[in-house]
Amino acid sequence: GRESAKRFNISMYLIDEDYLEQFGLQLVAGRALDGNLPIEERAEILINETTLHKWGIVDPQEAIGKMLPIGMNSITGEVVGVVKDFHNQSLQQPISPIVFGYWPNHFYRVTVAVQPDKIDESLAHLKKVWAEFMPAFPFEYKFLDDEIAKFYEKEQQAREMMGVFSGLAIFIACLGLFGLAAFTAEQRTKEIGIRKVLGASVGSIVSLLSQDFLKLVVVAFLFATPVAWFTMNNWLQDFAYRFNLSLWIFVGAGFLVALIALFTVSFQSVRAAIANPVKSLRYE
């Protein structure tokens, strides 16, 4: 009935009174945990906004003072604060309900903020302190930024591969475009010579030779855009939090491709445009 509808899985974070400040987490209601209180069956707890919503409560202030069974030796926690939602997993996963409690006897991990320029010195000191208090257990450590990077390890590898193959594809395409521009300019040598004799400017000739290639780029863009949109949209479906693809992304990409194509063919176009028209008319 009403109680069973409120049952849901919760991630349990065992923290001390300095945890929120250490990680820059914000309270939207209530207060932080009091580390000076004795450990009893009724313990103070914090919940995040997702837990609040799963509980069916809209106003965070309504949760303050409510009791929540959290499954640790039948302990019931009294909510004293609500923490603003934060991402504790990859963006491919939705934010999970979290309960924060203060039980020092269950602490198994210590979080330490160190200065980037004193990492080695800090690690040496931490290892010494650990050996003093926990000699039976090996000293092991992880960096938070490394743990976060692991969330997106596959995406990072895919990005690097896409960068390499995209660069290679652009290079090959530019080589082909350059060769095609050279061939076209050679085929139209006499035409260019006649136009120059009749008073055509270098700019008009460059524009004449370039516009045919730009038309091909536009046609390729019209074919490639739906495929790119479908591929990117399908990839973004794996993320719980994603942005909507904007038309301007593809317009910008098309504009960049057009610039690359124009730059590639401009060398041959300018070369043909500034050639001596007498030699062009003698061309066989």
Contact 178, 209 (CB under 8 A): no
For 167-213, the pLDDT digits (tens) are 898 889 888 888 888 887 777 777 777 777 777 777 787 787 788 78
Calculate what percentage of the chain has a pLDDT beyond 90. Answer: 16
Among the listed residues 39, 95, 100, the one whose alpha carbon sits nearest the alpha carbon of residue 68: 100
Q: Tell me: pLDDT of 80 over 90.
A: yes
pLDDT at 1: 31
> Rounded to an integer, what distance in angstroms lies between the CA atom of residue 39 and that of residue 72?
13
Q: pLDDT band for 278, please (50, 70, 90 cuts).
A: low
For strand 76-83 and strand 67-69, is the pairing parallel, antiparallel, or unpaired? antiparallel
Q: Tell me what pLDDT residue 50 has.
A: 93
* From 80-84, 107-111, 226-230, the region with the lowest mean pLDDT: 107-111
Q: Does residue 143 carry a pLDDT above 70?
A: yes
CB 118 within 8 A of CB 105: no
Residue-range domain boundaries for the chain: 4-111, 114-145, 152-281
User: Could you tell me if residue 87 is left (phi over 0), alpha (psi between -120 and 50 degrees) or otherwise beta?
Assistant: beta
Q: What pTM, to 2 d.p., does this model score? A: 0.59
Residue pLDDT, tens place only, 250-277: 888 888 888 888 888 877 777 776 766 6
117: left (phi over 0), alpha (psi -120 to 50) or beta: alpha
Confidence of residue 61 (pLDDT cuts 50, 70, 90): very high
How high is the pLDDT of residue 28? 94
Contact status, residue 10 vs residue 98, Cβ threshold 8 Å? yes
Cβ neighbours, 10 Å, residue 282? 11
H-type alpha helices, 188-246: 189-197, 202-236
Q: What is the pLDDT of residue 31?
A: 92
Take residue 192 and report the two structure tokens written for it.
């260019």
